[in-house]
Amino acid sequence: MLKSSAILVCGLGLLAAAPAGAQVQKPFPHHWGQPPDPLGGDLGVYPASVRDAVKTNFLSQSTNLVPLPGDYGRGKPALARWIARNLERDQSGAVPAARLLYGCDFEAAILDKAPEDFLVLDGGFAVKAESGNRALELPGTPLDSYGVLFGPVVSNNVAVSARVFGTNKGRRLPVFGVGLFGAGGLKLMAAPGKGLLEILRGDESIARAAYRWEPGKWVSMRLQVRALEDGAWQAEGKAWSEGAPEPVAWLVTHREKSDLSPGRAALWGSPISSTPILYDDLQVMTVGK
């Protein structure tokens, strides 16, 4: 898997998401999305040798950098315009402010153990390296349901996201997901054997939607919970495979008027296929109401 230029450090959040060649002093808000291509165009149509040469030449240049709005440092004019547009939208209230609370891509984590700030509830979770990428692995055996908590204690108006990788063995399919508010809180679970994406509260399924899993592909999962004006809360979840666009609409939602106890984010898995489940690129962030 190719990493972006974003640096996620377990327990420290997003340190930088700057394009190559920029001299960015602080992280961009998550809801701004991906900064513009610093090379000014799509190089995908050119051979790899040409792309590498152009990128090497670009990285060797320190000229043509301009001051970036919002005290973000220095960068190309296209990056400056992108920052200015996002700052203007935020000030107008068009986009609710979001803040990254925690991030982890395991690249700085010690191998063969869970990061020190993780709380393993059960299971042999450990960081493993494969093909130049580090991820948190849940072993394929023994068969049971396992979980691990991470990040800060959070309450409403928060989201958790992660990428998850699993494989099947014949008709045996894994179950996996992310969660909020601790061991007894809310979970967004993919259950490929049932063809469902479900929201659970504890172990009780409270909302479900049809879902088609693609074995052997990374799956992005996102669960968020928003406080509503009438004192209720709404949980919203989506999942999509690597290479597919993120769904615009939430795939599964649930509205309820009850108390939710604060707690940490979580990863969940049941290796029913007897093959490992991998987790990567964890994020916990605030969301607008």
Mean pLDDT by 10 residues, the chain (289 residues): 41 44 64 55 44 47 73 81 80 67 92 96 95 94 96 94 96 97 97 97 96 96 93 95 92 95 97 97 87
Confidence at residue 91, expressed as pLDDT on a 0 to 100 scale: 76
The string of DSSP letters for 193-211 reads TTTEEEEEETTEEEEEEE-
CB 204 within 8 A of CB 256: no
Confidence at residue 85, expressed as pLDDT on a 0 to 100 scale: 80
The whole-angstrom separation of Cα 36 and Cα 39 is: 9
C-alpha torsion angle, residues 161, 114, 156, 270 (rounded to 10):
70
Q: Which among 150, 106, 130 is positioned nearest to 276, based on CA atoms?
A: 130
Confidence at residue 88, expressed as pLDDT on a 0 to 100 scale: 82
CA–chain centroid gap for 40, Å, is: 26
Q: Which amino acid is at 230?
A: D
Statement: the pTM of the whole predicted model exceeds 0.85: no
Q: Which among 227, 229, 185, 231 is positioned nearest to 206, based on CA atoms?
A: 185
The whole-angstrom separation of Cα 78 and Cα 121 is: 46
Number of other CB atoms surrounding residue 276 within 10 Å: 20
Is CATH 2.60.120.560 what the domain over 100-286 is classified as, yes or no? yes
Confidence at residue 82, expressed as pLDDT on a 0 to 100 scale: 77
The whole-angstrom separation of Cα 114 and Cα 137 is: 9
Confidence at residue 65, expressed as pLDDT on a 0 to 100 scale: 80
Confidence at residue 92, expressed as pLDDT on a 0 to 100 scale: 72
Region class of 123: left (phi > 0), else alpha (psi between -120 and 50), else beta: left
Please state the domain extents for the chain. 7-92, 100-286
The string of DSSP letters for 175-186 reads EEEEEESSTTSE
Confidence at residue 39, expressed as pLDDT on a 0 to 100 scale: 42
The tokens for 131 are: 């093909």
Number of other CB atoms surrounding residue 225 within 10 Å: 24
Confidence at residue 159, expressed as pLDDT on a 0 to 100 scale: 96
The tokens for 26 are: 């602080």
The tokens for 250 are: 């939430």
Q: Which among 239, 199, 237 is positioned nearest to 219, based on CA atoms?
A: 239
The tokens for 156 are: 């409403």
